[in-house]
Structure 1
Amino acid sequence: MATHEDKGPGILAICSTLTALATLFVAARLYVRARILSRVGLDDWLIIASMICGYIMLGLTIAAVRSGNGRHFALLTNEQRSGAILYTIAGFCPGIFSFGIPKLAVVALLTKITNPSRKHKIFLWVMTSGCLLILFGCVIILFAQCSPARSQWDFSVKGTCWSPWILVYYAIVAGNISAAVDLYLAIYPAVVLYRLQINLKKKLALGVALGLGSVATAVAIYKSTRLPALASADFTYDTSDITIWTSIEGNSIIIAACIPTLQPLFDLVFGRRVFGSTDDKKYSGYKYGSRSGMKTPQHIELSSNMGSKAGNNSKHRKMGISDVTIAKDSQESILGSENETSVVGNSATQHGDRGTGWIQRTDDVTIAFEPKVGERKGI
């Protein structure tokens, strides 16, 4: 056993860098939502909660490394062992929430932009909430496996413990379930995008943006291979990889959840609609930050009543409605943008000054009017 082996600096470097990077993405997301779009939603608050968990984990990880985590157990004093075990175990708790809560944020975003059926929406929420509860089971077992729980890190307290493999096996199952949920949340929007009538380049760009959660899937699967270290006699050295990969998983899914919301910021930086689904020239008046005071129209409902409003001068009339922003409540812009553009008779009118998102839908609605009784008689 080499006395110079110390994974502590590597733990701190990786966890600190990833947390700082995730912080930048979260800050950019909040700038878009609060400053550009003037709207912060449930998914944003969930991401904030996830980031707070990431900070708590980083703080506990720093304390664990200072106590000796990353070094071989046999080389530590009892005081160092006690502190390293305590802070490492405590750090796993917010670490689990840091990659469990963002799943809820992803669902909150997807249910607004993909317009799932009511049953599918319920399924998405139940799936992610259930996954979070299963992950929370790891925390329960972690502190309940010894009685009293304090005996795990306080060597002056005698206690009885379950086999550590109970936690290992449960954590492996929970980790694979988490990976499966991440994979589903990455594939589902890709399937929805495949059905949309947009060009391949934009489909791929959107698919990549919404499918970055698949990275967390790969991380979760690999991390599951490191979980047997929880039963290792060299706990402080062998669990270092778990600490690192927990941070990677949490921060990667936070970053992946933020990227699809940043398109308005890209527009602001590059001065044009980078991935816009319409002609850039049409949106040359695209503005950020302030509001022009123009009223945003209410959602348009196409019904039989439109016949009387449209007039009866023509026997047959076609209304072309193109570049219509997806409805705000369930089919809104993929980036949560609230600007609405309606085109009637192929003439564009932009309302408001906040940019539309990446996905826009084109509907052709044909409205036919029956001739009046007099017209049928040639009168």
Structure 2
Amino acid sequence: MAQDRSLEVRAVAAVFFALATVATILRCYVRLVLVKAFGWDDTIMVLALGFFAMFSGCMIGGSIYGTGKHLTQLTDHQRTTAMEYWFLCDVGYCISSILCKISVGIFLLRVTVHPVHRIAIYVVTALAVIFGLMFWILLLAQCTPVSYFWMRLSTTHPVSGSCINMTVVIAALYIFSAMSAIFDLTVGILPIFLVRNLQMRRDVKAAVASLLGMACIASVAVLVRMAYVETLRNPDFLYATVDIAVWSNIETGLGIIAGSMATLRPLLRMIHPGTSRPSYNNNPSNPRTRTWPNSHTQRKDILPLSSMTHQDRHQTTPGTIHSGSATEVGPGLTASSVGTDDDLSDNELIFQKGSDPYQNHISVRRDFRVTSSEFPV
């Protein structure tokens, strides 16, 4: 068994803080520049990143002084300093975890309409926040005075004080971990129901559900960490509890990364425009056909508005819009002039020559707008 795990502690803290920082910066770019709708969920996520920075920084500082090493390898000063960093890690972990869950909850509430779904989000978020705050208060009050938490390992400067039974702390951590796992699983599964009935291609629907549901992966770290909770009883505290520190950092980092990635769809649309609306392929050999992307099927019997006679203009045909019909553009809607009710442009409505009813062409003035609603996520 390794005698020094301090490098492992530093590496995990540095890597996940760097990834969380990049994800949060991209989120801020999308919300401030692309969408121009920086909201409370974004502000709270930035605060969560700030406390995660405190958590990760204290992990790195603690590893320099002794976290990941056996107490017998450390001086008195190293022991107490590493334990003080551990205490600050607890504070940073709790606050960043709570803020991350609040941010994800607010974000999902912005894109959720169904009352049952909204109630589920309110309930799991409230439970996670309440139990998180209770655990945080318990950590602050577990020792009297607070400094006794780290000074109790000192052999040269003994300090009088007391701490509550470790069983209470362990039980509280189990409960908080369970609430965190329930929250992560709920917000990870719920997006499947959110996008199930949306009118979009199946591949885009799967991508959106995946982005929204990425918070589910944080629950894996929570469940793994629960296997190491009992190590809090070990007298060789700084070495035995490395796994708790590492998986707590992974849990919070994944939560921030997933919560930020869920907002990046506008950035993906900018990089790959095909993800926002379908592109079309016209077949020169058969101008009456159109191929949908990612599909081997073709749309047929598409008629141009300009090729319809006065009598035919009043008939409903697939892929056409009645002349003179208007569509309303409301808040949050984007409009584009297209030629059909299924997002066809005028240039894509190809008339097949030789069709009897449409030999006599007349010009029809077409003033219409087709709107599509795309709320930013």
What band does the TM-score fall into relative to the shorter chain? 0.7 to 0.9
Aligned position for 1:145: 142
Aligned length: 307
C-alpha contact (below 8 Å) 2:117/2:190 kept by paired residues:
no
- Equivalents in 1 of 2:126, 2:171: separation in Å? 21
**Matched AA of 2:194:** V
1:52 and 2:43 matched? no
Which blocks of at least 5 consecutive residues in structure 1 are unaligned?
A: 282-313, 329-337, 360-379
C-alpha contact (below 8 Å) 2:49/2:256 kept by paired residues:
yes
**Matched AA of 1:138:** F
**Matched AA of 2:150:** W
What's the TM-score, normalizing by structure 1? 0.73
Aligned position for 2:288: none
1:129 and 2:123 matched? no
Following superposition, the deviation at residue 204 of structure 1 comes to 1.6
- Report 1:340-359 matches (<5 A): 340-341=334-335, 346=341, 347-349=368-370, 356=374
Q: RMSD between aligned alpha carbons?
A: 3.1
**Matched AA of 1:229:** T
What's the TM-score, normalizing by structure 2? 0.73
- Equivalents in 2 of 1:58, 1:179: separation in Å? 21
Following superposition, the deviation at residue 97 of structure 1 comes to 2.3
**Matched AA of 2:278:** D
C-alpha contact (below 8 Å) 2:127/2:179 kept by paired residues:
no
- Equivalents in 1 of 2:326, 2:127: separation in Å? 41
Aligned position for 2:278: 279
- Report 1:75-114 matches (<5 A): 75-114=73-112
Corresponding residue SS for 2:196: helix
- Report 1:1-379 matches (<5 A): 5-117=3-115, 121=118, 123-155=120-152, 156-270=158-272, 272-273=273-274, 275-276=275-276, 278-280=277-279, 338=332, 340-341=334-335, 346=341, 347-349=368-370, 356=374
Q: Describe the superposition over 1:337-361 as per-residue Cα deviations: whole angstroms up to 9, x where unpaired.
A: x55237897354569xxx94589xx
- Equivalents in 2 of 1:350, 1:121: separation in Å? 27
Following superposition, the deviation at residue 6 of structure 1 comes to 1.1
- Equivalents in 1 of 2:326, 2:27: separation in Å? 31
- Equivalents in 1 of 2:325, 2:208: separation in Å? 26
Corresponding residue SS for 1:5: coil
Corresponding residue SS for 1:247: helix
Following superposition, the deviation at residue 9 of structure 1 comes to 1.0
- Equivalents in 2 of 1:37, 1:211: separation in Å? 21
Corresponding residue SS for 1:11: helix
Corresponding residue SS for 1:61: helix
C-alpha contact (below 8 Å) 1:321/1:343 kept by paired residues:
no
Following superposition, the deviation at residue 26 of structure 1 comes to 0.7
- Equivalents in 2 of 1:320, 1:136: separation in Å? 57
**Matched AA of 1:133:** I
**Matched AA of 2:143:** C
- Equivalents in 1 of 2:54, 2:237: separation in Å? 21
**Matched AA of 1:236:** L
Following superposition, the deviation at residue 184 of structure 1 comes to 0.7
Following superposition, the deviation at residue 84 of structure 1 comes to 1.0
Distance 1:350 1:121, change over 3 A: closer
Aligned position for 2:349: none
Distance 1:37 1:198, change over 3 A: closer
C-alpha contact (below 8 Å) 2:13/2:60 kept by paired residues:
no
**Matched AA of 2:271:** V
C-alpha contact (below 8 Å) 2:21/2:49 kept by paired residues:
yes
Following superposition, the deviation at residue 321 of structure 1 comes to 8.9
User: Once the two structures are aligned, what percentage of the paired residues are identical?
Assistant: 25
- Equivalents in 2 of 1:188, 1:321: separation in Å? 36
Q: Describe the superposition over 1:22-79 as per-residue Cα deviations: whole angstroms up to 9, x where unpaired.
A: 1111111111111112220111101101100111112211221122111012221221
Range that drifts further, 341-350 or 259-268: 341-350
Which blocks of at least 5 consecutive residues in structure 2 are unaligned?
A: 153-157, 281-313, 342-367
Distance 1:138 1:255, change over 3 A: same
Corresponding residue SS for 2:223: helix
C-alpha contact (below 8 Å) 2:10/2:59 kept by paired residues:
yes
Higher relative contact order (CA 8 A, sep 6+): 1
- Equivalents in 2 of 1:25, 1:31: separation in Å? 10
Following superposition, the deviation at residue 89 of structure 1 comes to 1.6
- Equivalents in 2 of 1:114, 1:80: separation in Å? 50
**Matched AA of 1:112:** R
